[in-house]
Amino acid sequence: MRKGILLFGPPGTGKTQVIRYVSANLPGRTTVLITAEQMMHISSYIALARTLQPSIVVLEDVDLVGRSREDIYGQKAESLLNRLLNEMDGLASDADILFILTTNRPEALEEALASRPGRVDEAIEIPLPDAVCRERLIELYGHALTFEDGALAEAVARSEGGSAAYIKEMGAVSPNAAWREMAVILSHARMWG
């Protein structure tokens, strides 16, 4: 099985969390993580993935090396892109390697990478969380707080456009200070508004 999946969406939406979930729930597979800085050694990482297959090869922020040839300046950058494409194509048909690529900028990717079957077979958007998801995230990360009536709904409304990482960070700030501050602000807003 050779398969490529592209996860795309704004920063902080949970692309890395999806990769962790997939890795944890595909027992018996080795995950090889390749960051943009490590792309110079992609041949070594793919050789490792072949040796350890079944495996998952994760290319985080692939747009940093896999951007459109029209936007590449310099032979070194184009060489990296070509090496990536060659490594993805050079796998035998019986290779059991799953490629997962992430990007915040899918429109910047080289067409030969993003659209060619066998390289990327499925593109999945990981969008900003909707209201239902934000509510679940606030409940999860603000679990130590008790929200007054209506405060949770107000927090959900005010977090419109916020990423999952932003909501998680609010819950991680010095023991729930951000949540408490938000709860106080919302309580005052209701009293005076």
Residues 168 and 78 in one domain: no
pLDDT value at 48 more than 80 = yes
Residue 29 pLDDT = 93
- The mean pLDDT value for 3-16 works out to 91
Cα separation, 23 vs 61, in Å, equals 18
Are both 114 and 24 inside the same structural domain? yes
Rounded distance between C-alpha atoms, residue 41 and residue 38, angstroms: 6
**Domain endpoint, select from 72, 97, 125:** 125
Going by pLDDT thresholds of 50, 70 and 90, the confidence category of residue 44 is very high
**For 166-177, what is each residue's pLDDT tens digit?**
888 876 664 445
Mean pLDDT over residues 51-60, rounded? 92
Q: Looking at the structure, do residues 118 and 148 belong to the same domain, yes or no?
A: no
Percent with pLDDT over 90 in the chain: 27
Task: Say whether both 84 and 64 belong to one domain.
Answer: yes
Sheet holding 30-34, edge to edge: 30-34, 55-59, 97-103, 2-8, 122-125
Same domain, 114 and 148: no
Whole-prediction pTM:
0.78
Decide: 118 and 89 in contact? Cβ < 8 Å. yes
The string of pLDDT tens digits covering residues 118-145 is 788 889 999 999 999 999 998 888 777 7
Mean pLDDT for 142-168 is 82
> What is the structure's pLDDT at 68?
58
Look at 166 and 65; give whichever has higher pLDDT: 166
> Do strands 55-59 and 30-34 pair parallel, antiparallel, or not at all (unpaired)?
parallel
Q: Are residues 101 and 174 in the same domain?
A: no
The percent of residues above 70 in pLDDT, for the chain, comes to 78
Mean pLDDT for 146-172 is 82
Q: 70 and 46: one domain?
A: yes
Question: Which whole number is the average pLDDT over 70-87?
Answer: 70
Domain match, 113 and 139 both: no
Q: What confidence tier does 116 reach under pLDDT thresholds 50, 70, 90?
A: confident
Domain range for 163 is: 131-192
Co-location of 96 and 35 in the same domain: yes
Domain count, the chain: 2
Q: Which of 105, 125, 145 is the last residue of a domain?
A: 125
d(CA 175, CA 172): 7
Q: Are residues 9 and 60 in the same domain?
A: yes
Domain identity same for 46 and 119: yes
Looking at the structure, tell me whether residues 116 and 143 fall in a common domain: no
